Each structure stands twice: as structure tokens, then as C-alpha cells.
Amino acid sequence: EYPQSAAIDLRCVNMVADLWHAPAPKNGQAVGTNTIGSSEACMLGGMAMKWRWRKRMEAAGKPTDKPNLVCGPVQICWHKFARYWDVELREIPMRPGQLFMDPKRMIEACDENTIGVVPTFGVTYTGNYEFPQPLHDALDKFQADTGIDIDMHIDAASGGFLAPFVAPDIVWDFRLPRVKSISASGHKFGLAPLGCGWVIWRDEEALPQELVFNVDYLGGQIGTFAINFS
């Protein structure tokens, strides 16, 4: 039962990764998992960002006690993530005529302690896309100016299963090199009847192995990195 369920999950992960233009996996299997919803998927993407950032800082001999995350003021799950995993949340507030995160204010909030930037591809209140491409380009310039390399996680809760079909020319996914992970809801526009989420990583390097647990008591060797398991 469990190995077959895991096999179905892996097939779906491959389909979603292909939809979001993930690079072809080395072993034929994309890196990702299903979750009970997009909030859990966001948590997993955020954890991986923090672990990757911490490794980089430790390798450079720098302190790791003040991580921060930059995003727009749109999702309670990022407040939860910041509190649960002791990360400073730097929200870019809405203002008249500017209802989503813009490159200028995003860059002003970034520094070497920024574990990542999270555009919301389908803002909860308005349905607007926080277009990742301009934010990505601003981070490229920021790195050229400062040497600070910042990853992106795309919170595509609603847009992840819409844009590939209705606006395929929008470059928002793994076609952008800084995008290391993407999360989306399966129960919004992914045609799942019950609570379901997906998180996909660009490749194996984007998911720290410390977050992967191997389970061998369910009829086979199964790797799991979701928060909820049973």
C-alpha cells in the first residue's frame, strides 16, 4: 500500500516539475513532495532556504543567528514560518497604487542575512501576480553590486496551476535561475478534491539532505521530507 502510494506521489511530482520547467533530473526523478496544503509546502520551501543560507554563512565563517525573509504582506503562513523557525520577517507593505512587492523596496530590505525572497504568484487579496522576473533581475544587480547571492521561493498557491495554461509566456518558474523551489495548492486550481499542496525543488542540491528522512517500515525504502507523515 505505502510503496504504491509513494510511487503515485513521485509520478505526480514529475508532472508538476515538468509543468514548472524544472531542469531534467539526473536520475529521472524530480525533487518534491505532496503536502496537506500550500501552507505546509511553504514551510518546507522556507526550511530549505534557511538551511541553505546557514550552510553558506557557516562556510564563510559568518554568524547565523539573525536570518530574515523578504516577502509581500499577503500570507499568514509566512508569519507562522518566521515565528516557528526564528526568522525575522521583512514584509514589503502595500500602499496606494502599489498592492504588491516591487523591486526597489525589496532590495532595500535585503542584506547578507536574507535567506530568500518570496514573491506571491497570485496575491490572496487581489489575485494579482507579484511578477518574479523583475524581482529576479533586481537580485542579479544586487549580487553584482554587493556579492550577496539571494535565492527565491515562489509561493504560487493560486497561480501555479493557472499561468502555465492561460499565460504561458510569463516567466515565473524554474526558468529563472534564482528560483530554488515553488509551492502551490492542489485544491485551488490543481483539480484535487481535498486538501493538497505541492512543493518542488529545482534539483537535489536545493533540498538539504538533513531535511530528508528515510523510512523503511512501510514495505519499502521511502524518503520523506514533509512535516505531516502519519
pLDDT, one tens digit per residue, over 119-135 is 999 987 788 899 999 99
Q: Specify the pTM.
A: 0.93
CA-based end-to-end distance of the chain: 14
**Domains by residue range for the chain, with CATH:** 2-21+29-224 (3.40.640.10)
Residue with cell 525543488: 201
Give just the sign of the alpha carbon dihedral 198, 204, 209, 214: positive
Q: Mind listing the pLDDT tens digit for each residue in 167-192?
A: 999 999 999 999 999 999 988 777 77
Which DSSP symbol is given to 165? H
Quote the pLDDT of residue 100: 85
